[in-house]
Amino acid sequence: MPHSDLLPSLLFKINENQLALEAAIMELTLWVEQRGSTEVTGNVRGALQTIDKNEEFVKMSLAVLMAPE
């Protein structure tokens, strides 16, 4: 299998990992927030917005890369 064929699969898996990490971090954020540390959770939520903002572009790019030629 040529290395170029691996790229779409690799990017797909990296994206899956990123979304799983986002979910785990959000769970921890909710846990911290329940304990009253709203400043920390505000900072975390701000950082997670970057993932949300870029998610649609990543999905569209992966769809293009994985589309049959």
User: pLDDT tens digits for 23-52?
Assistant: 999 999 999 999 988 888 989 999 999 988
pLDDT of residue 66: 79
pLDDT of residue 1: 57
Domain boundaries along the sequence of the chain: 3-66
Residue type, 51: I
Helix (H) or strand (E) holding 2: none
Please give the model's pTM, rounded to 2 decimal places.
0.75
Could you tell me which of 12, 2, 19 has the C-alpha nearest to residue 67? 12
pLDDT of residue 26: 95
The mean pLDDT of the chain is 88
Let me know how long the chain is.
69
How far is residue 39's CA from residue 33's CA, in Å, rounded to a whole number?
9
Residue type, 27: E
